[in-house]
Amino acid sequence: MITPRPVPLLGAAPARRNPWLNGRSLTATPERHLYCFPHSGGLPGEYVRWGQYLRGTQVYAVCMPGRGSRAAEPALTDLDAVVRALLTETEFVAPYDLFGHSLGALVAYEVTRELAARGLPLPERLVVSAFPAPHLPRHGPQLSGLPDEELIELLNERYGGIPPRTAADPDMVALLLPAFRADFALLETYRHRESGPLAVPLVVLGGEADSVTPDQLDAWDRHSAVTVRRHAFSGGHFYFRDDMAPVAAVLAG
């Protein structure tokens, strides 16, 4: 008589980690989700930490190839390619908002447009920060090809610079500069295509001392068919680094 071998019980395979999303899982079921798109050269960790200010909100920061933990991957320098690749691997969990700061605002906007084009669930709010409306013409030097020294000087003058602790570490600077170059190339190759306003409430944030002007922020009005709300905060381009509390109040609202 042949005794059958016991069949081992197989547990569910662990879910594959989405390389696009960085976040700290909540112990309780989230009431909502916030997906943050960082600024040029920005690392996800700065935005993941916002979870401490937003109770009940699962905060994720989007990490593009060539940045942060994905520094070894080839960077994408075409925004359409970024949006397609992100949506191939990512399903946003409702209810959710999208937030983008500086260049991240443009990425979040184009992601929302693509979600609408595909008939997928839209965010409850699109929050754009410190970036001119996407249809406005852009004039200025091409930044992606600048020598390292000139690029660092420009970052210090125009964008508040690389954080001092990071700037003091040559290895960290060498790691960050390719990400800045890729992000600037992404912006330099972007061409806005008219498609009508979004059926999504729009929240526009900015710093009162930023080089992005109130008129450039007001121009976002044409990109929502629902509501547009503007909030100005004390500070410059990175106003939320000075005082996160009022910004968190808007994001939680």
Quote the DSSP letter at residue 18. -
Cβ proximity of 90 and 118 under 8 Å: no
pLDDT for 62? 97
Omega before 95 within 30 of 0, i.e. cis: yes
> Mean pLDDT per 10-residue run, the chain (253 residues)?
41 64 93 96 91 96 91 92 97 97 97 98 98 90 78 71 70 79 90 94 97 97 97 95 96 90
Cβ proximity of 41 and 176 under 8 Å: yes
Q: Is residue 152 a part of any domain in this protein?
A: no
Catalytically annotated residue among 102, 129, 223, 224: 102
Strand partners, 22: 61
Q: Is residue 121 a part of any domain in this protein?
A: yes
**Domain count for the chain:** 1
Q: Is residue 51 a part of any domain in this protein?
A: yes
pLDDT for 4? 42
State yes or no: is 237 an active-site residue.
yes
Q: Is residue 237 a part of any domain in this protein?
A: yes
Locate 103 and state its tokens.
Answer: 């260049």
Q: Is residue 115 a part of any domain in this protein?
A: yes
pLDDT for 146? 81
Cβ proximity of 202 and 220 under 8 Å: yes
pLDDT for 16? 65
pLDDT for 158? 65
Catalytically annotated residue among 39, 101, 223, 237: 237
pLDDT for 54? 96
AA letter at 75:
A
pLDDT for 161? 58
pLDDT for 109? 98
Residues 6+ apart with CB under 8 A from 81: none
Residue pLDDT, tens place only, 104-149 = 999 999 999 999 999 999 999 999 999 999 999 987 667 777 887 7
Identify the domain containing residue 202 by its residue range: 21-138+195-252
pLDDT for 88? 96
State yes or no: is 101 an active-site residue.
no
pLDDT for 165? 72
Residue pLDDT, tens place only, 231-247 = 999 999 999 999 999 99
Q: Is residue 6 a part of any domain in this protein?
A: no
CATH number of the domain bearing residue 248: 3.40.50.1820
User: Distance between CA 241 and CA 5 in Å, rounded?
Assistant: 62
Q: Is residue 112 a part of any domain in this protein?
A: yes
Q: Is residue 162 a part of any domain in this protein?
A: no
